[in-house]
Amino acid sequence: MKNKEGLPISFLQSRRQSAAKKRYRQTLSSMKRIKRKITKAIIPAAGFGTRFLPATKSMPKEMLPIVDKPIIQYVVEEAVASGIKDIIIVTGWHKRSIEDYFDYPYELEKRLEEAGKSKELEEVRRIAEMANFIYVRQKGPYGNATPVYCCRHLIDDDEDVAVLWGDEFIYSNPPRLSQMMKVYEELGGAVISAVRVDQEDVSRYGIADVEPVSGNIHRIKKIVEKPALGKAPSDLATHGAYILPGEIFPILQNLKPGKGGELWLPEAIDKLIQSGFPVYACEIKNGRYYDTGNKLEYLKANIDFALQRPDLKEGLKKYLKTICEK
């Protein structure tokens, strides 16, 4: 028997079976990576932060405070709470204060010790001791793929690595990266954090075309970067945190500039998907996304975190009530 194109049915069935076997072998191959625990995280932090000028003229956007901790500290704490030991921060010439922040401030420690401020002393020491901090200067074209590629010499060929942006985060329980690790341990492959967004906001994010796997896990068929309204394949935004295989680095090396002449990480991930490598979206549970590169969202984050503080909660609630009644 033949189909409409004149091809034998047996041939088509054989081709489908071969494709299915190939996909199965690729999935099994990716699952072998489970044996190597992920201990490294890349945090790109080299951007200029133009949306927060003039403050970011002399201050990294990642160092803008949420109450009394910089944004990047929340990202580092999430990584450490998820089992990461080595934090690789990709910086630029204007980001020296990030390196200073995670260092030992000898003079400050001495002053706090002499003043008997043991609580503050313990906190500043804890910051430096959270992880092994490694710094890489970004070199190459603009785009969010470049800082990841700049770390290739620190990642073994058979090693998978986490990537988290330094100017945004999802606050969740358990931590976002911890939830992603569980998907990785179960299925292997690559994993991207995902959140549902309103339809009017889809053009701000990379939106995933997915097929369900189980519960909050989806297999990604394609990522559509900032689709026009009405053109999005879903309302599932994939961004913010990634678990990527060592195979991503050869793809990044050969990646051509995309929109705006920049190198885009989602385009590299699409090529990874096209190669048959399984990439999953982990829809984060019990979490709230904070785009702290956006002024309004940054203000919301400060209010939300201040309201969780026993020393600030009541006073802030009273103040907010007063100004809202005006």
- Kindly report the pTM of this predicted structure: 0.84
- Give me the torsion for CA of 250, 48, 180, 197, rounded to 10°: -120
The answer to whether the CB of 102 falls within 8 A of the CB of 128 is yes
DSSP H helices in the chain: 9-31, 71-81, 96-101, 106-114, 118-129, 146-149, 176-187, 248-253, 265-274, 295-306, 313-324
Amino acid 24: pLDDT: 45
Q: Which residues pair with 224 in a beta bridge?
A: 207
pLDDT of residue 85: 95
Sorted by where each starts, the structural domains of the chain and their CATH numbers stand as: 20-293 (3.90.550.10), 294-326 (no CATH)
Tens of pLDDT, residue by residue, the chain (326 residues): 655 556 565 545 555 555 444 454 555 454 454 557 899 999 999 888 888 889 888 899 999 999 999 999 999 999 999 999 999 999 988 889 999 999 988 889 899 988 999 998 999 899 999 999 999 998 877 888 899 999 999 998 889 999 999 888 888 989 999 999 999 999 999 999 998 888 877 877 888 888 989 889 999 998 887 787 778 888 888 878 999 998 899 999 988 888 778 888 888 999 999 989 999 999 999 888 888 888 898 999 999 999 999 999 999 999 999 988 77
Q: Look-up: residue for tokens 């200029």? A: 48
